[in-house]
Amino acid sequence: MVVAVLAVLAAGWAVLASVTLFPYLSVNQDETVYLLQADSLTEGRLFPPAPPAEADAFVPWLSITSGDHYVPKYSPVWPAVIAVGRLLTGSHHAAQALVAAGVVVLTYLLAREVLGRRWPSVLASLFVVLSPFFLMQSVTFLSYLPNVLLLEGFAVSFLRGVRQSSRWLLVASGGLIGLAFFARPFDAVLFALPFGFLFVISRRHSWRTLIPDVAAFAMGTVPPMVAMLAFFKAATGSPLRSPFNLLDKSDTLGFGAKRVFPWDPELEFGAGQAWHGLLTHSMLLSFWCFGGLVLIGLSVVALRHRKTGLEGWMGLVALTIPIGYLLFWGSYLLTRLEGPWRIGPFYYLPVLVPLAILGAGGFSRLWHLDHRLAWFGLLGMSAVSGLVIAGALGDQRERTTGLRALHSPVEERPLDGAIVFLPRYGPQLMTPFTKLRNPSFDQKVVWALDRGDRANLRALDLFPSRKPYLLTEGAPGDLHQLVRRRGATVTAEVQLRVPPGEEQLVLGVGRGERLETFPVDVSNQATQRVQLIITKDEVSVQGSLGPRRVESRTPDPDEPDVLLWLLRPAAGDAPETEAASAFDISALGEEVEVLLPATGSSDQADAPSLEVVAGN
């Protein structure tokens, strides 16, 4: 009954905290990849679709383009669970609830196998639930906790199969570890190694049963292994190659130069970096498990006073995971990022299982020796974990506030039938816009990267019936509806706002090696409008401005075709830029085409401002 209550509370926490505290996900933006994969599976596709052209405008985070679809680097095991939960309940959060409750129950069952007693096993589930590591991971859509569920399911069925000589349980354990291997192969191998040694040792005097038992276990691994090879074939063209390092071949085990993306600088990973990763993650784990170092000390007590003989094998899991990750460069990379400090050292999450189970065994012994000391220890453990979770949730609230401001322009405005070009904070979508993804191109809004006017026009050609919008950088940015204008001559409007107190301003218009400047009437503090006349060969200015002055300039090779500045002259120095705008001109024979905001901003700036719009 206690375990059932803990499971319900854990499931409720996972859903409620995810909805209220993590609406824009966690600091680890890999969550967006799993959700995109889940959305695609819900739509009946193994991979997110790619358009027939301009695929770079829509490429998702941690994905590559392959023909008519994108290939994410991660396995579809966890996304499939999310998709099934959504199909059954209408919500992605059903999968989170299932995993959180399942881990609590399986921790209890595994502790019963290892410790052999009921109440220490209940205590193990409680220690998991109260761990900041579990509390933060259970509200994310990352794959670490779901894989712990598979690993625990494997361990329970394996230990019972060995104890009861049940080959059906060994088949089940093979299926679960095979599925865990499909989801996160490295974790599955490291977690299963101690159990493999236990299997051989337990059968060392009965070799005639060893081969049938191994065959039963292997039989269980066949379905997930076949599914994994089929997925590899679909993703990479080879059943023996994982898509994990499609982005860059160096993103794998071993020492040497490493990186995730081909455009990243290489990071040299050697023995020193490996030890740094081990020590940092171990230090963090000592805070993120319930009670920190106290729980680790209680685990040592349980190992020194073993009851069933299985405690040592469980303790080996707490060693194989960190030792194995010495070979993976990501353990060092994460020490330079926010993730392990915000949601726990997630590569080490499987270690929480033996710590909770063995810690519960050690606490049980302490309880029998001295009730008062046990209560004091429990209060201290609660205080340590309370401080950790309070700090983590405070950081998350700040992050949510920033991401809510970032998303607010597109969330507060009805955009049915739109294509929105998002600012390029990186070369892929879904970071930092964690909620904006394209599982299909027939949804209400299609999201694209702002790659410049010419590329945006090509992307618009794919969706001629959609209304185009552009979101500018900032939190919040400005969301502008865009207008395409085409002809031998195209007219645009420049809107100048001059706040009170300005003494002198100059409008500069640059194209190629030519710069034209015009004094602005600063006595007119209303919005001033002048026209740009755009042809294939020139851009001219018409309106109430002072006398024109022509200068030469050296253009940047990558700059837009037309640049405009609002300048404040300064004696003896280069003028100060108060505001700027730019756009490209696409030549179509004797005609030109431009892409401009339909209207300017309605905000009255306190500083001089300049906007180029399509006008009437």
Please write the tens of the pLDDT for every residue from 470-505: 998 988 888 999 999 999 999 999 988 888 877 788
Mean pLDDT of 12-18: 97
CB 322 within 8 A of CB 278: yes
pLDDT at 349: 97
Residues 243 and 381 reside in one and the same domain? yes
Over residues 282-302, the pLDDT tens digits come to 999 999 999 999 999 999 988
> Mean pLDDT of all residues in the chain?
91
454 & 542 share domain: no
Tens of pLDDT, residues 143-193: 999 999 999 999 999 999 988 888 999 999 999 999 999 999 999 999 999
pLDDT of 391 > 70? The answer is yes
Strand ranges (DSSP E) for 417-561? 418-422, 445-449, 467-471, 479-487, 490-497, 505-511, 514-520, 528-534, 539-542, 549-552
Which pLDDT band holds residue 604 (cuts at 50, 70, 90)? low
Indicate whether 297 and 237 sit together in one domain.
yes
Does any domain span residue 224? Answer: yes
Residue where a domain terminates, one of 483, 511, 529:
483
Domain of residue 83 covers 2-30+74-361+368-395
Q: Residue 573 above 70 pLDDT?
A: no
Average pLDDT over residues 344-350: 96
Residues 271 and 299 in one domain: yes
Q: Using 50, 70 and 90 to split pLDDT, how confident is the model at 202?
A: confident
| Same domain, residue pair 333 and 387 | yes
Query: Do residues 466 and 499 both lie within one domain?
Result: no
Bigger pLDDT: 526 vs 29: 29
Whether residue 348 lies inside any domain: the answer is yes
Does 28 have pLDDT greater than 90? yes
One domain for residues 376 and 475? no
Residue 62 lies in a domain: no
Helix (H, G, I), strand (E, B) or coil at 152: helix
Q: Are residues 240 and 185 in the same domain?
A: yes
Is residue 527 included in any domain, yes or no? yes
pLDDT on residue 461: 94
Mean pLDDT in residue range 224-234: 97
pLDDT value for 19: 96
Mean pLDDT to the nearest integer, 124-134: 97
Asked if residue 303 belongs to a domain, the reply is yes
Count of domains observed in the chain: 3
Q: HSE, CB side, 13 Å, CA atoms: give it for residue 38.
A: 26
Residues 254 and 145 in one domain: yes
One domain, residues 460 and 520: no
Residue 570 within any structural domain of the chain: yes
- Mean of pLDDT values over 352-379: 91
Contacts for 385-393 with beta carbons within 8 Å, 24 or more apart? 385/130, 385/131, 385/132, 385/290, 385/291, 385/292, 388/132, 388/287, 388/288, 388/292, 389/132, 389/135, 389/136, 392/132, 392/136, 392/342, 392/343, 393/21
Do 476 and 516 fall within a single domain? Answer: no
The reply to whether 340 and 422 lie within a common domain is: no
Asked if 17 contacts 139 with a C-beta cutoff of 8 angstroms, the reply is: yes
Is 68 part of a structural domain of the chain? no
Query: Does some domain include residue 50?
Result: no
